[in-house]
Structure 1
Amino acid sequence: MLKNRTGFAALALAAMLLTSAVFSAEGDERILKVVAETKELIDGGEIQAAQDIFDELQADFPKIMRPDLDLFIKGELYFGKERYAKAARSYEKLLKDHPRSALCDATLDREFTIAKTYLAGRKKTVLGFIKLKGYAEGIRIMEKIADRVGLDTPMGTEASLAVARNYEDRELYNEAYLKWWEISLHWNEGPVGKEALLGMARTKLAAYNKPPEHKRHLYDASGLSTAKSCYSRFKLLYPVDARQIGVDKILEQIDEQLAYKQLRIGQYYQSTGHPKAANLYYHMVANDWPATQAAAAAKELLAAEPDTASDVQTPSEK
């Protein structure tokens, strides 16, 4: 029964294609209809039915087969069997060798699906027997999609967002920040621009906070300053959203961390016998971040040195 059904389907599809010139616009439309119907079979799990149709088409009607269609068919059959690495290679060859093919849109859709699957944690076989998470492969495919279609297209935007979110989910905050920044260059307003700006702020702060708390002051604080700048801009542009996520409290936290960083530098100078340098930092903390706990501590340390407790203005290192 299945053999008869697939045989009839192959004849119908072949007749559809042969009624027009294969390389004409009308021929492309007919091929796209064939592709849509066979994609439904594959998405519905009827891989063997799709395989039988393609086999009969190739055997009985070789004139309708062309290189881009052949590559797409191979990719579809691999895709249906969840052999995504081989499917991706066929799709990529189609896009590279036949950039004007009418099948490019359908191929990009499939590549996007494969990339999402890898980003979700699907493993990829390396060296024939080692199975590793396919995050890198998913990112590679998404980046190629964005390069091909452009970041100003819906698919290019979604591909770039998927990469940024994946980096952030895996706590690769520096990589995530760079991707959010890249997105912000193309989208500085609207929903995408808002998400990118918040992503930049969030990842810079998360990168600084990643080490244990007692060691954070040992690291470069420039990321904190960047996070503060991004959060401040977010508050200015999106005040309602800023209130909902508690940006004011986040900014207070960042100020506390910036102040504590400078306080610890001052304490280092004091412990190594350089009281004048230490006092410069204490004054800076007290003057630049007066509402912080670090400022209160700095004032106490200055009070212990009455000769240097005057309100000296120092260059800000915020």
Structure 2
Amino acid sequence: MSEPLSRSWTFPSPDLAVAVLAMAVALATVGCRGGSSPGLRGVLPAAQRGADVEAPESQALMSRWIGAPRSDDRVRRVGGLILQPDGWASKEVPTDDQRAAEFEAAEQLYLQGDLDAAERAFARIARKERPSGIKRFADSLTELEGLDDFDRRRSPWGMRSLYYLGEIRFKKGNYVGAHDTFEELLKEYPGTPHLDEAVSREFQIAQTWLNQVRPADDQPPLPWHARFRGGLPLIDTGGHAVSVLEHVRQNDPAGPLADDAVKLIADHYASAGDHESAGFYYDQLANDHPKSPLLHDALMSSVDSKLNAYIGPEYDFTGLAEARDTAKRAMQLFPERLTSTSDDLYHTLDLIADQEAERDYTMGEWYRSAGYVISAEYYFGGIVQKWPRSEWAEKARVQLAELAKMPRKETAPSKMMVQPGGNDPFAQGISSGNPGGLGPGTSIGP
């Protein structure tokens, strides 16, 4: 007889099982008390543990890393341990006085003009004060008491160090590093008092990068080798400039530079030939900043961009309709400027009307060629009624005279989309001139 496929394993005797279980419990107890490993709490002298590690010998191993209880039943931060030549010791945390002294030394280097040494000093301070991944995870656990002891954002040294670090990199021409530093400052410290200065620096960085795409007469562009020193992005300088301007809008949407940032983005797209995107941003400036001094220029530029984005009568006419509404809005909001721009606006409205008439004429021609006489007469008649003095009205009258001689024929409507199990009123061949559908199996009349 063959052996079974599976066999359950058992202890030879119940006494042996009890002995193994007792040994496992004993080993676990010794390990938790920290008496058998040089890395546990039990082997550390009290002098080496520091003031933060005041716990009894029976304290669990994990409590050394997550905190020790205090007298008020709140969680107390316990500093990590570092391995020294004479054994394990608690990591020293600098006090506020030490942080202040280190920051003042770095600030003195900055005031003396030693930007390289000041940059290294401020970078070291910012790295120390940067919240760790554990800190960011703990921010989501605000319902637990005692986590405020971990919050380093209450200390001003990290915030001020990041601001000085961004200023130094900006003055040294490292615009890429300066932008990254200011973005970290605004992200880690949303309520920083340096918001206006940081946003202003980002706006200047965007202007410098846009000058590489369209150099101004009074401002020469940066040399090509500035890309290797952080002065310029490695690729797509214009795209990075637009991204920086978007950051200016997001970081301070109600600030004094928000409308200027939108205007620069729109001008960049307009100069690049992307008139559709340019019109989109000009409309954003007009809608989001109705009291901006750039409103009139934005409205006029929006009209021009939408006119340039129009391809022809065979394509979508929505852009021209929006341009017409924008031109009328400019005439209503700025009546005092009609004397200087009224001729251009009225000419723009006439041009839009001419394009619309051309579009209707093209549609009428298509219906005429397809044999839909009634639909063709609808479009040609609309041209004569809306624009009676245009050149397209004369052409439409000629077409209407020819259509009057053509025979009319009844056009059966296309079948309708109905739900499963529903009745199609046109399934029995009922035309538009007959009564409505009666459904399958029915008849009309007696």
TM-score normalised over the length of structure 2: 0.51
Which of 133, 141, 146 lines up with 2:249 in the alignment? 146
Q: Provide the rounded CA distance (Å) in 2 between the counterparts of 1:100 and 1:291.
A: 62
Greater relative contact order (Cα < 8 A, sep 6+):
1
Q: How much does 1:281 deviate?
A: 0.9
Unpaired stretches in structure 2, ≥5 consecutive residues: 1-98, 129-155, 214-223, 407-446
Q: How much does 1:289 deviate?
A: 1.8
Q: How much does 1:125 deviate?
A: 6.3
Q: Provide the rounded CA distance (Å) in 2 between the counterparts of 1:100 and 1:85.
A: 23
Which of 299, 305, 318 lines up with 1:203 in the alignment? 305
Which of 312, 318, 321 lines up with 1:222 in the alignment? 318
Q: How much does 1:22 deviate?
A: 5.8
AA at the equivalent of 1:115: A
Q: How much does 1:221 deviate?
A: 0.8
Aligned position for 1:173: 275
**Using a 3 Å threshold, how does the CA distance of structure 1 residues 287 and 114 change in structure 2: closer, same or farther?**
same
Determine helix, strand or coil for the equivalent of 1:154.
coil
Determine helix, strand or coil for the equivalent of 1:277.
helix
Determine helix, strand or coil for the equivalent of 2:316.
coil
Which of 364, 387, 392 lines up with 1:289 in the alignment? 387
1:78 aligns with 2:143: no
Which of 348, 361, 365 lines up with 1:267 in the alignment? 365
- What are the Cα deviations for residues 31-69 of structure 1, in whole angstroms up to 9, with x where unaligned? 9x989968xx7xxxxxxx43355568899xx9xx93233
Q: How much does 1:259 deviate?
A: 0.3
Determine helix, strand or coil for the equivalent of 2:235.
strand
Deviates further, 130-139 or 91-100: 130-139
Aligned position for 1:236: 332
CA RMSD of aligned residues (A): 3.9
Which of 183, 187, 190 lines up with 1:96 in the alignment? 187
Determine helix, strand or coil for the equivalent of 1:220.
coil
**Using a 3 Å threshold, how does the CA distance of structure 1 residues 121 and 299 change in structure 2: closer, same or farther?**
farther
Q: How much does 1:166 deviate?
A: 1.9
Residues 269 and 275 of structure 1 are in contact (CA less than 8 Å); yes or no, is this contact kept in structure 2?
yes
Report how many aligned residue pairs link the two structures.
Answer: 264
- What are the Cα deviations for residues 261-290 of structure 1, in whole angstroms up to 9, with x where unaligned? 110111112222223322211111111122
- Which of 1 and 2 has greater Rg? 2
What's the % identity of the aligned pairs?
Answer: 22
Aligned position for 1:50: 115
Q: Provide the rounded CA distance (Å) in 2 between the counterparts of 1:176 and 1:284.
A: 33
**Using a 3 Å threshold, how does the CA distance of structure 1 residues 190 and 163 change in structure 2: closer, same or farther?**
closer
Q: How much does 1:95 deviate?
A: 1.4
Q: How much does 1:258 deviate?
A: 0.4
Q: Provide the rounded CA distance (Å) in 2 between the counterparts of 1:51 and 1:164.
A: 38
**Using a 3 Å threshold, how does the CA distance of structure 1 residues 58 and 166 change in structure 2: closer, same or farther?**
closer
TM-score normalised over the length of structure 1: 0.69
Residues 282 and 299 of structure 2 are in contact (CA less than 8 Å); yes or no, is this contact kept in structure 1?
yes
Give the structure with the higher percent helix: 1
